Amino acid sequence: MNTNEDIIKTEYSEVMQKSYIDYAMSVIIARALPDVRDGLKPVQRRTLYDMHELGIKFDKPYRKSARIVGDTMGKYHPHGDSSIYDALVNMSQDFKKGMPLVDGHGNFGNIEGDGAAAMRYTEARLQKITQNCLLDDLDKDVVDFIPNFDETEKEPSVLPSKFPNLLVNGTEGIAVGMATSIPPHNLSEVIGAMKAYMKDETISTSHLMRYVQGPDFPTGGIVTNKDELLEIYRTGQGKIKVRGKVEVEKGKNGKTNVVITEIPFTMIGANITKFLQDIATLAETKKAPDVIDISNQSSKEGIRIVIELRKDANVDNFINLLYKKTKLEDTFGVNMLAIAGGRPETMGLKRILKECVEFRYEVTTRKYTNLLAKEQSKKEIQEGLIKACNVIDLIIEILRGSKDRAMAKACLIEGKTTGIKFKSKESEVMAKQLMFTEPQANAILEMRLYKLIGLELDALIAEHNETVANIFKYEDILERKDSMAQVIINELDEIKKEYGRPRRTVIDNCEEAVVEEVQIPEMEVMFIMDRFGYAKIIDIPTFERNEEAVRAEFKYICRCKNTGKICLFTNNGQLHTIKVLDLPMGKFRDKGKPIDNVSNYSSATENIVAVASQSELNLYRLIFVTKLSMMKIVDGGEFDVAKRTVAATKLLDDDEVISVVAIKEQRNIVLKTNDGYFLRFPIEEIPEKKKAAVGVRGMKLSPKDFVEEVFYTQNAVEQNYDYNGRIIALNSIKLGKRDSKGTKLRGN
C-alpha cells in the first residue's frame, strides 16, 4: 500500500446524497430544462450554433442531418447522436413548434406520430428567423462563450435571442424531481406584451393578458377555460382545457358528417390513432349507435377526420360524447419551469418577460459598447488619414528619406527625424511637429496611393462624418435607457412585421360537455365462448334455433342480460369481469372477439375454470375446490364487484382452482384423485367462508396425489362415470366424511 495515500472515512449515505444531488443538478441544468433567456435546452442551443458555424444558413443549400449531428456531437454535445437528431427533428416540426427554428428537407415525421427518416436520409438548414433573431450578433461579444466538454472549442452559454422564444415555441422536459411544460404562444402577441412591459415595468399580469390572450397551439383548437388563464399565467402553473374544432357537413343520402378539422395539441402522434379507435369502440358498444363510418382524410393541407352518422342522429349529443369520452377534449398541464440565474424556477408570464427584457438590455448594451469601440477606433484612423492627405507631400518625403518602416513610423508618431533625408530644412521642421497615434501611423504606412484621388478623399471625409454620427448615436443609446428601449422595440416591430401571423387557437369559455346517455333496452342474451377463447353474444331466438350446434361447438355458455357482466374464474384464483356491452353482438357463425382483448384475462398465464353471469351469482352460493383438496362455500354476492379483476380465493403454494360451481339441486360432492381415490360426502359438510379465506381440506391425499376431477350428485338421480373403461355409478360410491381418505377404485 502507498504510504502517501490518505484514507478518507465518510458516511455512505452522505456520499450517495451528494452524488445524487450532483447528478440531479447536472440533468436539470445541462440537459432537461431550457434557459429562460433564449428558451433553448443545451442540446438545441448547441445544434443551432453548430449549424451557424457550419454556415448552413437559410439562404444556403441544405446539408445532411448526419453531418450536423456528428459535428455537434464531436464538438459540443457528447451525449449520443439520437438525442441530437431528436432535437433537430423537434425544432423543424411545425405542428409542435409555434415558430420552427430548423428548415427540414425530407421526411421529418408527421402529426400522426410517424417518426422521421434516419438522419442519413434527411437534410436541414437554419430558418430565417433563427439566423436573424437567435444567432445574430454572436460576433459582437454580446454573450459569454464557455469551453466545450474537452476545452478544445468555445460555445455560447446562451444565444442572443431577440424575442421570448421560451413563450413562442414552448417546451417540454423531464428532469430529476421536476418537469417543465410550457405551451407555445403567438409571436405577435408575445412581442406586444414584451413592449408593454418595457414601457411600464409595474404592469400587472391581467394587463399583459390583453396582449397574450393565452396559448396559441400550432394545431389550433379551442381553449375552453378562459377565466382560469389569468391565475395560470400569474403563477406559472395550472391546467388548460383544449378542444378540437368540429364542423358539421351534409353527407350523402341525407346523412350527416361530423368533421374534425383541428385537434388538441395533446392529441399529436399516436393519440390520433387512439382517438379513431375510441370512436370505433363507442360504436361497437352501442354508446354511439349512430356512427356508420369513420375515415381519416388528413393530408399535408391539414387535419380532416370524417365521422358519418345516420340520418336522424342527434349530432350535438354525439359531439358532446366525443368531448366527454375521447381525447377530442383534453387537458394541457402547464408548469412554466426554466433556468433563471443558474437555477430552476417556476415563473409566471410577467417574470418570464422581465427576464427576457433584462437579457435584451444586457445584450444590447454589450453590442453597442462593442460597436462604439469599433467606431471610435475607426474614427481615430479616419482622422489620421484625412490629416495625412493634407500633408501628403511631407509624408511622401519622410517615406522616401527613411531607411526602414520603423524610422518612418517613429517620425510620424514622435517627430523623430534622425537619419531621414529631407529635401529642405523646412520639411524637417514640419516633420518634427507630427504627432500621429500608433494606429494612425500604421494606417498611413499601409495606405494605398489611389486613396490620394480627389473622389476617394471625399469618400473618406463622408465616411468620417458617418462614423462621428454613429458614435453620437451609440453613446446616446448607451447613456439613455429610453434610447436603448426604442432600439429594442424597433427590433421587435421588425420581427413582428416579418414573422408575425394570425392566432390559430380560439380562447373562450365553453360549457362542459353534457351527454344524454343512450338508453339501451335491457334484454336477455346468451354468452358463448369456444375453446380457443373467442366470445360473442347472440340473442335468445338464435340460441334456441341452434341450441344443439351451440352446445356442441362452444365450451362455455351462459344466459345473461345485455347490460350486465360476465364473470371468469381462473385456475390461479382470479376473477375477471367483462361488460356484456364490450362483447360483439353477432350471428351464430360469426367468429367473435378474443376474451383477452376485452378483459384482464391472459390465456398465456392462466386457464378458465368457470364462467357465469354476475346477476346469476347473486342468487347462489359457490363451491370452490382446489388441486390440493382445499374447499369452501362462498356467497355469490361477494363477487358483485366494480373492478375488472379481483382475487376470487386465497391459494396455498403450488395450488390452483380446479372447480367453481353454483349450488342449486346438488346434494353430494364426489372428489376423484389422480391415483384413483374417490370420496363422496354431503355438501353440508363444507363450511361457508369469505372469498379471502383458503378454506378447509376436503380429502386426505397421499404424497404427490392431487384432486383431478369434481362431480356433484342429486338424490334419486342416477349419474355414471366412465373410469378407464369401467362404468361407475357415482351415487353408489360409499358415503364418507369430509377430510377422509376415500375409496380406491380400479378400472377394467
Active-site residues: which are they?
121
- The string over 147-173, giving b where at least 16 C-beta atoms fall within 10 Å of a residue's C-beta and e elsewhere, is ebeeeeeebbebbbbbbbbbbbbbbeb
Backbone phi, psi, residue 192, to 5°: -60, -40
Contacts of 647 (CB under 8 A, 6+ apart): 573, 574, 575, 691, 692
Q: How far is CA 182 from CA 78, 194, 333, 405, 442, in A?
A: 27, 17, 8, 64, 55
Alpha-carbon span 235 to 215, nearest angstrom = 15
DSSP 143: S
Q: Which of 164, 245, 173, 237 is nearest to 198 (CA)?
A: 164
Q: Which of 363, 349, 353 is nearest to 158 (CA)?
A: 363
Alpha-carbon span 92 to 88, nearest angstrom = 7
CB 198 within 8 A of CB 355: no
- The grid cell for 559 is 344466459
CB 447 within 8 A of CB 428: no
CB 648 within 8 A of CB 659: no
DSSP 688: B
Contacts of 258 (CB under 8 A, 6+ apart): 246, 247, 248, 306, 307, 309, 315, 318, 319, 322
CB 456 within 8 A of CB 450: yes
DSSP H or E stretch at residue 279: helix 270-284
Q: Which of 256, 258, 267, 268 is nearest to 305 (CA)?
A: 258
Residue 455 CB: number of other CB atoms within 10 A?
8
- The grid cell for 50 is 453548430
DSSP 676: S
- How wide is the angle at C-alpha 675 spanned by C-alphas 671 and 680, nearest 5°? 20
CB 383 within 8 A of CB 440: yes
Alpha-carbon span 97 to 215, nearest angstrom = 12
Alpha-carbon span 470 to 332, nearest angstrom = 49
Task: State the number of CA atoms in the 13 A half-sphere of 710 facing the CB.
Answer: 26
Specify burial of residue 693 (Cβ count, 10 A radius: 0-12, 13-18, 19+): middle
Q: Which of 52, 48, 135 is nearest to 87 (CA)?
A: 48
